[in-house]
Structure formats: C-alpha cells, structure tokens
C-alpha cells in the first residue's frame, strides 16, 4: 500500500513505540499514586514528557495539559471558555473551513445561546484580516482560527491574528493540530493564547493529545469537560495514559519541522507532474501559503469516491477522514467557493517523511491509468470534450 493520507493519521515511529513499551508492561503504576515508587516513576515520566512538549511550544510546563486528542481539546476549549466567559459575552469568530470538531461544537453551543460569526474565505482559502477586525464585537469572547487546514494545507497568519485579538482583548484559540511538526512556529512567542495538538498526526500514538494555554497576567479560564480526580490541575480528570504521553513526547522531540523542506520538494515534483501530465487537473489553493506536505487536486468529471475505490493500492482521502464515509462534498472546499461538482471530484494527497519519489511515481502512473479509464467510460466526459457541457 502506498500511504498518502498522513493528514488523517501517521504511522507510529519505532523510537516512539520503544519508549512506550516499558510503560505498558513493567512501569504500569498509576501516576497519581505518589505513595509508592511505581507511581512516582510514572509521575516523573509524565512530567518529563510535559517538559519536552513545553519546550516544543516555547512554553512552561504549567501551560501544557493532556487530553485524549485534538477533538477533546477543541471541545474542552470551546465549551470551557463559553462556560467561563458568559458574563463578558457569547460571541465567537471562526470560519466554515475549520475541522468538524470545531464546527459541530460551535453548532452545539449556538443552541445554548452562543452567537457565531463565520468569516468569509477567498477562493484560495484565505481570510481577510480587515473582515476579522470588523467582526470583533464588545461581547466577543473567542477567535477560533486554525493554523493549517487539514484538507488544503492553507496556513492562516496566526501572528497577525493574535495581534488583532490582543489589541481587542479577545482570546485567540488556534487549532494547531496539522501545523505541529510541519511548521517551526514558536507558539510561545506567536501571541496565540490557546493551541491544541494530537500525537497521531506526528508519528505518535492515537488517543492522546493536549492543549497549550498561555499564562497571562489575567489567567485564561477554561471550565473542565471531564471532571473526576484532580489531574491536570483540575482541568481534566482521569488516570494518566502514561505510555501514550511518553510516546507523544518522543514524537515531539524527534519532530523536525525543518526537514519538511525535503517533503516540499517531493510535493512540488508530484504536483508539477500531475498538472502537466493529467488533463483537466487543477490544484486547490495553488497560490496560498500551504503546508509542505498537502496537495488537494480536482480531476474534473472524475468522482473522487469512484477514483479512490479503483486506486486499490493507494491510500488517499477525499476530505477529512471524519467525513469521508459520506458523500457530501468537502465543507472546506465549499467554504472556499469551489463548486460542489468540483469538490466531489477532489482528492487530498498528504505526504510524510516516509514518502518516497518511487511512491509518487507509482501513484501518478496509477492515477493516469484509472482516470483515463473512468473518463473513457463517462458520457459526461465525452460531452465535456465536445464542448457540449
Ligand atoms: N483538527 C484538525 C485540523 C485535524 O486535522 C484533526 C484530525 O483530523 C482534528 C482536529 C481531530 O484530531 P483527533 O483525531 O486527535 O481528535
């Protein structure tokens, strides 16, 4: 199988797996059982992991909190801020291209009285900072804009957004799940107030992640989503998942955002060949600043569902993994003003440090073969070729 679906999830690194193993077998003490040595061992391992992740963020350990992954982190932040800041207001600012974890949670909060402004996007997936500035109200409690989009790779200018947010004394939460390990942003210096992360996007284990919450003179308030023990400074109850936390910290430690230049060269090679060699293919967000590993390409009049079914040895995606089971066009592409027809004919290719040129050559070969076959059998394609559509 050629795996080009690394924005959905990544394979676990050997180094990550090997640091996890002792905590699954010998060192299984509960990190909250500080009365005995086994508990203290795991507690220390967790605190060391927290330090490694804090270093990555340019933060202190007091600013890092563990959760089960980005979906939980997003729920925690949006619901937790809504609960704590209602005396100030109920207004959120976001866009329709956010991950479903954000959009569904905000929809749920809307039913509880939240008001949401969705900023428009241009055809390249960019927001306009003037629109953002104009949309900030006296009762705005949170700006929620992702750093890098999981479907198109489009990067939002988080430093500029943070500056606007800070000027208006509004909190800024950025879903940084896809940017981590791919961009070398120092989040501690970026001005962003809250970020979230998920280990499985950077060759770590699934089911573990967290949030970075900047310590400010007026501390940021977030109500817990999961109550129980006093773990994570009362922000998230539940026995620590030690092995996964340790594995996640190794994934952060060995992440090399600068190495993504090599991935960029491969990605450029791949895109150029597709655009040159496959008729009526177009790259979404072509002129936007994008992640180095992500290409979202429309093959006109070739439904992505059919194409993916026929690419039997190649793993790609037609949208975010969470929605690829249904037939709706990608909400991200629709938000960018792409037609539903083109959105349904679009495929996301996402590379990793393990992707080789041979993988890409093989993929291009397969794509050409399958697309030609589908188009040859398609009456719509014949009409299109005869300029009758
Ligand atoms: N946010 C973004 C941008 C993502 O790409 C994903 C994963 O698809 C998530 C959030 C959810 O992450 P998790 O699978 O860890 O819940």
| pLDDT tens figures, 289-311 | 999 999 999 999 999 999 999 99
Q: Calculate how far, in angstroms, residue 385's C-alpha sits from the geometric centre of ligand 1.
A: 39
Per-residue pLDDT band at 322 (split at 50, 70, 90): very low
Rg (CA), the chain: 22
Span 132-171, pLDDT tens digits = 999 999 999 999 999 999 999 999 999 999 999 999 999 9
Give the residue-averaged pLDDT of 1-29.
97
Say if residue 320's pLDDT is above 50: no
What does the mean pLDDT of the chain come to?
95
Whole-number Cα distances in Å, 133 to 33, 82, 157:
49, 21, 14
- With cut-offs at 50, 70 and 90, classify the pLDDT of residue 326: low
Residue 8 alpha carbon, nearest atom of ligand 1 = 8
Burial class for 163, CB neighbours closer than 10 Å (0-12, 13-18, 19+): middle
Decide: 118 and 95 in contact? Cβ < 8 Å: yes
336 versus 385: the higher-pLDDT residue is: 336
Residue 33 tokens read as: 């059982």
Tokens of residue 107, six digits: 């929809």
Per-residue model confidence (pLDDT) at position 203: 98
Residue 27 banded pLDDT, cuts 50, 70, 90 = very high
Cβ contact 135:162 at 8 Å = no
Give 201 Cα–ligand 1 centroid separation in angstroms.
Answer: 8
Dist. CA 92–CA 107, nearest whole Å: 11
pLDDT in tens, 30-79: 999 999 999 999 999 999 999 999 999 999 999 999 999 999 999 999 99
2 φ/ψ angles, rounded to the nearest 5 degrees: -95, 125
Structure tokens at 260: 């993504």
- Structure token pair of residue 318: 């037609």
Closest CA to 5 of 344, 384, 319: 319
Dist. CA 187–CA 344, nearest whole Å: 35
Starting at the edge strand that comes first in sequence, how are the strands of the sheet with 346-350 ordered? 281-283, 294-299, 346-350
Ligand 1 center to residue 181 CA distance, Å?
14
Q: What is the pLDDT of residues 115-125, one digit of tens each?
A: 999 999 999 99
To test the ligand 1 pocket, which listed residue (71, 100, 154, 320) has its Cβ within 8 A of the most ligand atoms? 71
pLDDT at 218: 87
Q: What is the mean pLDDT of residues 273-298?
A: 98
d(CA 183, CA 116): 29
Tokens linked to 86: 């209602």
199 CA closest ligand 1 atom index: 15
Q: Which residues of 43-70 are buried (b: 16+ CB within 10 A; e: fewer)?
A: bebbeebbebbbbbbebeeebbbbbbbb
- Give the burial class of 149: count Cβ atoms within 10 A of its Cβ; 0-12 exposed, 13-18 middle, 19 or more buried: buried
How far is residue 45's CA from residue 258's CA, in Å, rounded to a whole number? 27
Instruction: Find out whether 127 and 156 touch, Cβ atoms under 8 Å.
Output: yes
pLDDT > 80? residue 86: yes
Cα-flanking dihedrals φ and ψ of residue 121, to 5°?
Answer: -115, 150
- Evaluate if residue 282 carries a pLDDT over 80: yes
Token pair for 19: 């640091």
State residue 325's pLDDT score: 52
Residue with CA closest to ligand 1 atom 13: 70
Q: Is the pLDDT of residue 321 over 60?
A: no
Q: Ligand 1, closest atom to CA 72?
A: 16
User: What is the rounded distance in angstroms from the CA atom of residue 335 to the CA atom of residue 98?
Assistant: 10
Using the predicted structure, report yes or no on whether residue 260 has a pLDDT greater than 80.
no
First to last CA, the chain: 37
Of the candidates 156, 123, 119, 117, the one whose C-alpha atom is nearest the C-alpha of residue 139 is: 117
- 179 C-alpha to ligand 1 centroid (Å): 11
Determine the pLDDT at residue 216: 87
* Alpha-carbon span 268 to 101, nearest angstrom: 30
- Pocket probe for ligand 1: among 201, 206, 321, 332, the residue whose CB has the most ligand atoms within 8 Å is 201
Considering only CA atoms, which residue is closest to atom 12 of ligand 1? 70
Lowest average pLDDT, out of 74-83, 231-240, 252-261, goes to 252-261
Residue 344: its pLDDT value, please? 96
DSSP 99: -
What does 244-279 look like in DSSP terms, one character per residue? HHHHHHHHHHH--GGGHHHHHHHHHHHHHHHHHHST
Structure tokens at 334: 């629709």
Catalytic site residues? 322
Q: Which tokens hold the place of 12? A: 């676990």
Q: List all residues whose CB is within 6 A of at least one atom of ligand 1.
A: 69-71, 99, 101, 146, 150, 175, 177-178, 198, 209, 320-321
Give the Cα-Cα-Cα angle 110, 104, 302 (nearest 5 degrees): 135
Please give the distance, rounded to the nearest whole angstrom, from the Cα atom of residue 7 to the centre of ligand 1: 9
Residue 326 per-residue DSSP state: S
Q: Which atom, in ligand 1's list, is nearest to the CA of 320?
A: 8
- Using the predicted structure, report yes or no on whether residue 211 has a pLDDT greater than 80: yes
| C-beta of residue 61 within 8 angstroms of C-beta of residue 233 | no
């Amino acid at each position: 199988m050629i795996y080009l679906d690394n924005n959905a999830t990544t394979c676990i690194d050997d180094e990550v797996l090997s640091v996890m193993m002792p905590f699954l077998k010998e060192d299984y003490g509960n990190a909250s059982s500080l009365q005995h040595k086994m508990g203290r061992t795991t507690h220390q391992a967790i605190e060391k992991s927290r330090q490694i992740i804090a270093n990555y963020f340019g933060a202190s350990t007091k600013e890092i909190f563990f959760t089960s992954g980005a979906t939980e982190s997003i729920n925690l932040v949006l619901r937790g801020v809504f609960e704590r800041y209602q005396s100030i207001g109920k207004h959120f600012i976001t866009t329709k291209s956010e991950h479903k974890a954000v959009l569904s949670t905000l929809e749920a909060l809307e039913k509880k009285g939240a008001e949401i402004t969705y900023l428009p996007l241009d055809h390249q997936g960019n927001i306009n900072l003037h629109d953002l500035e104009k949309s900030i109200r006296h009762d705005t409690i949170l700006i929620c804009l992702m750093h890098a989009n999981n479907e198109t790779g489009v990067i939002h200018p988080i430093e500029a957004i943070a500056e606007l947010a800070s000027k208006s004394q509004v909190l800024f939460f950025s879903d940084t799940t896809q940017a981590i390990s791919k961009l070398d942003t120092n989040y501690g210096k970026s001005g962003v107030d809250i970020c979230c992360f998920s280990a499985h996007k950077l060759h770590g284990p699934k089911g573990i992640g967290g949030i970075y919450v900047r310590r400010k003179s007026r501390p940021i308030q977030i109500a817990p989503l999961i109550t129980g023990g006093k773990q994570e400074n009362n922000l998230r109850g539940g026995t620590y998942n030690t092995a996964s936390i340790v594995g996640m910290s190794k994934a952060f430690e060995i992440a090399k955002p600068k190495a993504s230049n090599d991935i960029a060269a491969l990605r450029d090679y791949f895109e150029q060949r597709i655009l040159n060699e496959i008729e009526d293919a177009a790259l979404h967000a072509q002129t936007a600043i994008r992640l180095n590993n992500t290409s979202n390409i429309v093959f006109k009049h070739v439904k992505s569902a059919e194409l993916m079914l026929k690419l039997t040895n190649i793993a790609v995606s037609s949208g975010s993994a969470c929605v690829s089971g249904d037939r709706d066009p990608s909400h991200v592409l629709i938000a960018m003003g792409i037609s539903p027809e083109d959105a349904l004919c679009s495929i996301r290719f996402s590379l990793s440090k393990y992707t080789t040129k041979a993988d890409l050559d093989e993929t291009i070969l397969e794509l050409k073969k399958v697309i030609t076959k589908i188009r040859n059998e398609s009456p719509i394609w014949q009409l299109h070729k005869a300029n009758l559509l």
